[in-house]
Structure formats: structure tokens, C-alpha cells
Structure 1
Amino acid sequence: MGKKRGMMSESLKTTLAKDLGFYDTVQQEGWGSISANDAGNMVKRAVEIAKQNLK
């Protein structure tokens, strides 16, 4: 199997983490340290942005 690729760009993830208030955690401990709740909120926000861009 091939290497897993993320669906979101690093830039988008960073922007969302800053907007949602947990970017400090990401900077200090990496993406693996965010909670499942924070990851879910990132996905929800990304979907909202995508829907807005389709209109």
C-alpha cells in the first residue's frame, strides 16, 4: 500500500487550528496531540468553508 496523504493542505489545517484556538498546542506538540473533538471541529469547519465556496 502507498503512503497515506492528508486531505487538507498544511496551510488550511494551520488556518483552521488558529481560528479554532488550538494552534499553540499544534506548535508545541504536533498534530498528533490534538483531541478528537478538535479534529472533528476542523473537519466541520472545512466542510462549511467548502460549501460556502460552492455557492
Structure 2
Amino acid sequence: MARKRGIMSEQLKEEIAKELGFYDVVEREGWGGIKARDAGNMVKRAIEMAERGVSEGKGSS
């Protein structure tokens, strides 16, 4: 079975993990080592960033 390709770039995931303070776990154990709560917070942060980008984009026209 083929793996589904992720939506977030590796760079964005790393940036958010550093911001949220669990990048050390990613370095030691990989993405599978993070807690479900951390993964959820990472997704929440990415959504906030995307929403902010969309709202800023609409105001510039």
C-alpha cells in the first residue's frame, strides 16, 4: 500500500515543533515519538497560520 504524502512540508513541521518545544523528541525518536497532544497542537498551529495567511491575503487587494 502506498503511503499518503503529507500536506505540511518537513520544514514547516520542524519550525512548528521547535516553536511548541518538542523538536528534541523529533530529533531523538522521529515523528512517531511525539505525543498525540503535541501532534494535535502542531495541526492547530498550522491551521492558525493558514487562516492568518488567508485573512491577510484578502486585505491586500
Normalised TM-score (structure 2): 0.85
Q: How many residues align?
A: 55
Unmatched 5+ stretches in structure 1: none
Normalised TM-score (structure 1): 0.93
User: Which aligned runs of 4 or more in structure 1 are off by greater than 3 angstroms?
Assistant: none
Specify which structure has the bigger relative contact order, considering alpha-carbon pairs within 8 angstroms and separated by 6 or more residues.
1
Let me know the Cα RMSD of the aligned residues.
0.9
Structure number with larger C-alpha Rg? 2
Matched-pair identity in %: 62
Partner of 2:33: 33
Please state whether the residue corresponding to 2:45 is helix, strand or coil: helix
Unmatched 5+ stretches in structure 2: 56-61
